[in-house]
Structure 1
Amino acid sequence: MYIVTNRTVDESKHSENEAFGSKPIEGPNELRLAEATRRGNRWHINILPDQITPTMAKSVDLNPDNTYPASAYVARKLIEKSGHGASAQKSGRNLLLFVHGYNNDMTDVLDRVEKLEKNFDIEVIVFSWPANGGGLHGVLSYKSDKRDALASVGAFNRVLEKLEALVIEFHAQYVAELQVRAETRYADNAAAWDRYFAKEVQKRCPFTVNLMLHSMGNYLYKHLLGSSVYSGDRLLFDNVVMVAADTNNENHAEWVDRIPYRNRLYITINENDGALKASRLKMGEQQKARLGHYLRRLDSRVATYMDFTSQPHVGDSHAYFEDKPLNNKKVLEFFRVALNGQVAEKPTRYDPSRNVHRL
């Protein structure tokens, strides 16, 4: 799996909690990329160099005599995993950008991403921001992570810029493959070549690109949307899935309605979410109701609200996309469909009095 981060890194270390630090990189929104592989019960981390080596370039069919950033290497690797490129996997997978929440060290992050990939048959690239609470606990940890989230806004914007370049690379690869197919079928018939190419290139991309924000990851995205560095014209994602959002429910439509997406914007809610109930008490005085556990004022014009409250196996879970909650087939199916970029609310019951879909 691949990690993009604004955490400090140590290229000489290969365990997740030594290779990645708990503080932001010094400098204006600098990012680093890394590969993580499971070796038995441990993770092996390879911090990628800013400029990849000739051997790395050759391994992804780039000219080893030229210089390329690490993002070019990751882009080619992800293209292969989506089922395209010279070394394409036979069974391509959709791509998910995952932004984690509060109080996550790198072991937590990598274990969670591994579950997402296995449970929902997707390829995940994670943006990991410094969310360890600086070694603190409770209220101080929560406040520290909120400060680090705000400090990571610019870095997250750069992640979206890089992902935009990746999507462009995906599209270019798809177009190149179509051209080869058209040439193979209609080399001697220019009119048929044009008709075939025009028809195929206008079809939806053969994979989807989606965004999942968990807990305080939604707080980070909210502040990016309101920042001066954000360019709101990036239509990158088929689905945006806001899970257990640790942001104010009050006036959320003002920023949620600015989120660009192609297919669906989902906001999931569990009124019994224990972590969000606790977060209301972590600022020294009670915070306002959190978006991810409040079934009132669901007034976004574009979001599809999904209620997980009282579903079997969900209980007070804050991460009901993994572990025990997935014993509930309705929960499993929702996330499988939503995180693969499809319409996930069709089997649910819509409650117009609350503007929410119930599983």
Structure 2
Amino acid sequence: MANAYIMCARRRSGDSFSNEPGPLRYLKVPDAVLAGYDASHIVANPREWAAEVQGLADGDENPNSIAPKGDVLVFIHGYNNSIADVLRRTRQLARDLKAEGWHGQVVAFDWPSANQTLNYIEDRWDGSEVALTLVTKALKLLSEGQTGPVKCETNVHLIAHSAGAYVTMEAFVQAEKRGELRNSPWRIGQVAFIAGDVSSGSLSENSDWCKPMFDRIMRLTNYYNPFDAALAVSNAKRLGVAPRAGRIGLPGDVTRKAVDVNCGPYFRDLPPDPDFGGISWTHSWYIGNRVFARDLAMTLEGAIDREAIPTREKNDGKLVLIDQPRPKFQDQWGIKETAKFEKARIS
């Protein structure tokens, strides 16, 4: 039976978890549990939890990935996510990626976002606080694995939805303020923002806020949707002065480490899923959509140039999401073998 692996930054209240920030705990939730996790799912030893996740990832090597071993994807959700929502969406993301040929382990970072639509002020306050937790616990654990005597070769990626993009960027900023992390050569592979609720300008090459993130990652892929109604509300709260990256895309002066994928033309003709259980269809449709999952899978694998991924086409110089299959003979390209050979050659 499969398990869901969760890093929980919610405060414990008896056997349950609340909507307030608390110490980070590591959970393993059996597939049969649907309503949400509780304290019975806590794994007492964080390093044992991390070793189990790494072992699952490394035991499921992706033949299409350039990672020398396995891949782990950490899902950082946005506002208005209950514990049941986080569990459901984490499992859905894992199923989508597996169905599209991705091998690896999906892990959730669950932080306490208020269960009200766009409770902006409270979510931002909590988001800043849990970014410290993401750094001092989760990223520190990752850093120790990459720089210790037995080096961890598992490739770790991040996907952040909505206000999760804020938590992610703030986490990298906080990491630079802590000597043991700032002076350690830890890294993250791919980072994906979906419906990112951060200002487009904050991702400018001249932005001090995004620099710590770009210094540690291989690439940022910003998936955006001009039809995102939730981000229109978010933008209106700021009187329209800070358009969101998840609605209009990246600024013109962005580092080469970042790439935009416009999902608007694809989304425009996409019928809403009658079984969709999210907050806003225009804002949260990505998880549960197989075309998006296919593009994300090839992005995480890193083997195909960002402008040649088949689920993208150029439209007026911009990359646009389209429904196309993987390359027909990709599984015969020997990508994993090439990655391992090149790693041995240059070490």
Q: Same fold by TM-score, threshold 0.5 exceeded?
A: yes
Matches within 5 A, 1:245-260: 245-253=196-204, 254=207, 255-258=209-212, 259-260=214-215
Q: The residue matched to 1:218 in structure 2 has which SS?
A: helix
Deviation at 1:252, TM superposition (A): 2.3
Distance verdict in 2 for CA 1:337–1:90, change over 3 Å:
closer
The correspondence for 2:177, drawn from 223, 226, 229, is: 229
Q: Which moved more, 1:35-44 or 1:73-82?
A: 35-44
Does 2:284 match 1:319? yes
Residue 118 of structure 1: aligned partner: 95
Matches within 5 A, 1:184-223: 205=153, 207-223=154-170
Deviation at 1:229, TM superposition (A): 3.1
Distance verdict in 2 for CA 1:341–1:23, change over 3 Å:
farther
Q: CA RMSD in A?
A: 3.1
Distance verdict in 2 for CA 1:152–1:38, change over 3 Å:
same
Q: The residue matched to 2:150 in structure 1 has which SS?
A: helix
Deviation at 1:93, TM superposition (A): 5.3
8 Å CA contact 1:210–1:238 kept in 2: the answer is yes
Could you tell me how far apart the structure 2 residues matched to 1:132 and 1:276 are? 17
Could you tell me how far apart the structure 1 residues matched to 2:150 and 2:253 are? 39
Residue 228 of structure 2: aligned partner: 273
The correspondence for 1:160, drawn from 113, 136, 139, is: 139
Distance verdict in 2 for CA 1:262–1:290, change over 3 Å:
closer
Distance verdict in 2 for CA 1:290–1:7, change over 3 Å:
same
Does 2:142 match 1:145? no
Residue 5 of structure 2: aligned partner: 2
Higher relative contact order (CA 8 A, sep 6+): 2
Residue 52 of structure 2: aligned partner: 77
The correspondence for 2:31, drawn from 24, 38, 58, is: 38
TM-score, normalised with respect to structure 1? 0.69
Deviation at 1:288, TM superposition (A): 1.8
TM-score, normalised with respect to structure 2? 0.71
Could you tell me how far apart the structure 2 residues matched to 1:225 and 1:321 are? 25
Deviations 1:31-75 (A, max 9, x none): 2111112216444543436xx4xxxxxxxxxxxxxxxxx112112
Larger Rg: 1
Does 2:75 match 1:102? no
Q: The residue matched to 1:241 in structure 2 has which SS?
A: strand
Does 2:188 match 1:241? no
Could you tell me how far apart the structure 2 residues matched to 1:162 and 1:40 are? 27
Could you tell me how far apart the structure 2 residues matched to 1:21 and 1:289 are? 32
8 Å CA contact 2:222–2:249 kept in 1: the answer is no
Q: The residue matched to 2:109 in structure 1 has which SS?
A: strand
Could you tell me how far apart the structure 2 residues matched to 1:221 and 1:240 are? 9
8 Å CA contact 2:7–2:24 kept in 1: the answer is yes
8 Å CA contact 2:34–2:88 kept in 1: the answer is no
Could you tell me how far apart the structure 2 residues matched to 1:342 and 1:43 are? 36
Deviation at 1:303, TM superposition (A): 0.5
